[in-house]
A and B are shown apart, each in its own frame.
Chain A
Amino acid sequence: DAGVIQSPRHEVTEMGQEVTLRCKPISGHNSLFWYRQTMMRGLELLIYFNNNVPIDDSGMPEDRFSAKMPNASFSTLKIQPSEPRDSAVYFCASSPLRDTEAFFGQGTRLTVV
């Protein structure tokens, strides 16, 4: 199994631009998570999907952030417009069931200048 696949691995963009991060979960996994990690705030849960349906988006910082999961094998996290304070590592993770561990992708390192 290829594991959770995220793209791009690195993204540098200018303030005000739209950024789209992509995630392919492990096949057969029902839950998908998007996290953001910074030194100051640690690993923050942004949104959690179960069977492609958003269950909890209380961690999404503001309206500039949106996430979709159109099918079981693909999810996107979009930031529009991006700001320098959005600079962080964004992780996607998936898990097979609602009470099991999650497996992480390698992350996308986002820098907004």
Chain B
Amino acid sequence: RKEVEQDPGPFNVPEGATVAFNCTYSNSASQSFFWYRQDCRKEPKLLMSVYSSGNEDGRFTAQLNRASQYISLLIRDSKLSDSATYLCVVRGNTGKLIFGQGTTLQVKP
């Protein structure tokens, strides 16, 4: 079983749609959680950290459920520029940083 699992998609949505990505992780001792974004042929970049109480950054909302070992990302009012691969990332108690396979989003006009 992979340490971090995501639905690879692709998700094809129209502009303005709301889209949700989910992720599960296997190590219950994991301490920190993140969503990264990767554009084609570029390096991954931090989108947002994920906190236990849930957090929001503009159109983006992240949630963490430690009991279920589940992380989510919600994107509201999708823009063409949101088209990218979204990576769920978990950092364990040793500091090891593990990435999910990524979910591809394509926003269409």
Interface residues of A (CB under 8 A from B): 31, 33, 35, 42-43, 45, 48, 50, 55-56, 91, 93, 95, 98-107
Contact = CB atoms under 8 A, between A and B. Distances in A.
B96 A45 contact: yes
Q: Give the interface size bracket for B toward A.
A: 20 to 34
Given A43-B87, A107-B43, A102 B32 contact: no
A104 B31 CA distance: 20
Nearest to B34: A101
A55 B94 CA distance: 8
Contact of B95 (A31, A42, A43, A93): A31
Given A43-B102, A100-B32, A101-B34, A56 B43 contact: no
B96 A48 contact: yes
14 contacts: A31-B95, A35-B99, A42-B100, A43-B102, A45-B97, A48-B96, A48-B97, A50-B95, A55-B94, A55-B96, A93-B97, A98-B94, A101-B46, A106-B42
Contacts of B34: 101
Interface string B83-102: 00001010100111111111
Interface string B56-96: 00000000000000000000000000000001010100111
A104 B32 contact: no
B108 interface: no
B22 interface: no
Nearest to A97: B95
B101 A42 contact: yes
Nearest to B42: A106
A100 B34 CA distance: 9
B98 A55 contact: no
